[in-house]
Amino acid sequence: MPLRQCNSRPVNRLSRRTLNRFLPTCLFCFLLGSSQALDADVIARFEFQGNDYTTETSNPSGFNTGLNLSNNASVAGVTVSDLQFSRNLDPTAALGFAADDYDDALGFSTDENDDRSLEFTNQVVYFDVNVHVGFRLNLQSISFDSLKTRGANTDDARVTYSLFVNPAGDPAVDGLLGDTDFLTNVAHDHGAAGDTEAESTGEDFSTGRWNTGPIDLSGVQAVAGVNTIALRLYGSEGATSDQDFGIDNLVLSGQVTAIPEPATTTVLLVSIAAASYRRRRKPALATSLEV
């Protein structure tokens, strides 16, 4: 039986119809893909390397100068400020016993700073993230180490942190005193050696370190412009001989996305429409020629 020659025209027509059907979709996917994610897992990182504290039990202000408060991360599409403080939080006050435990970290003197009550606390560390024009920022999480020096007692030494993203108040003015628009309020009890939650290795004036986080920020999406990240903090529990607290390894994670320019979007949409029109017109033209 002789082999039948296959007509390839229907196949070609089917291929054209398939192309006509999926070309606009492909172009649209390209349009979405042009809003590409940059390699921006870490938006801001404060490590405080080089901070060197000397014990001075009288806790004078202005004792610690030249502190490293700079951001160590670099991401296209955003600019991050140095770490800043509310007027009621003095990072230059000398630390007391166990001051060396705060080297390469950021410490605050309990005696110099009013840090005992949530109702009256107005101590804030904060930084600004400026999202450049043409970009959007999707936050993911924030984490940091909590440090607390225990005094000569066996009571818990608790530190409490309230996290704000774009607070209604201005941390530079009033330290967010009494503000309740925080995203979360977290606390940690720094226990002595032998306690279940202990991080301290000694009994008197030993300093514990605890990683807080990552705290979920995935609900903060597609932000633009200048955004303020603030931590209101205080040593909320412990005997009066408890000394000093601080933070270290403050890391903000997220993703920066480039937004297509309006002109690019317009050109691609016009291309989609033109491609679709040409594909639809060709079969009609071929029919008229055959007639």
Determine the topology of domain 42-258 in CATH.
Jelly Rolls (2.60.120)
pLDDT at residue 6 above 60? Answer: no
- The full set of domain ranges for the chain reads 10-34+261-286, 42-258
pLDDT of residue 54: 84
pLDDT of residue 80: 97
Q: What is the DSSP string of 172-201?
A: HHHTTTT----SEEEEEEEBPTTSTTB---
State which amino acid sits at residue 43: I
pLDDT of residue 78: 95
Strands 207-216 and 106-108: unpaired
pTM over 0.85: no
66 Cβ neighbours under 8 A, 6+ residues apart: none
pLDDT at residue 158 above 90? Answer: no
Confidence band (pLDDT; 50, 70, 90) for 40? very low
Which has more pLDDT, 99 or 40?
Answer: 99
pLDDT at residue 51 above 70? Answer: yes
Output the six-digit token pair for 239.
């005997």
Which neighbouring-strand residues pair with 210? 146
Which has more pLDDT, 236 or 105?
Answer: 105
Output the six-digit token pair for 286.
């071929």
pLDDT at residue 115 above 60? Answer: no
pLDDT of residue 164: 97
pLDDT at residue 104 above 70? Answer: yes
Q: Which helix (H) or strand (E) holds 107?
A: strand 106-108
pLDDT at residue 63 above 60? Answer: yes
Output the six-digit token pair for 288.
């008229």
Kindly report which listed range (57-66, 67-76, 105-114) carries the lowest average pLDDT score. 105-114
Say if residues 220 and 139 touch (Cβ distance below 8 Å). yes
What gap in Å lies between CA 30 and CA 35, rounded to an integer? 9
- Mean pLDDT, to the nearest integer, of 57-72? 90
> In this structure, what DSSP letter does residue 275 have?
H
Kindly report which listed range (21-25, 33-37, 184-188, 219-223) carries the lowest average pLDDT score. 33-37
Residue-wise pLDDT for 127-140, tens only, equals 999 999 999 999 99
Residue-wise pLDDT for 243-278, tens only, equals 788 999 999 999 999 987 665 555 555 566 665 656
> In this structure, what DSSP letter does residue 10 have?
H
pLDDT at residue 110 above 80? Answer: no
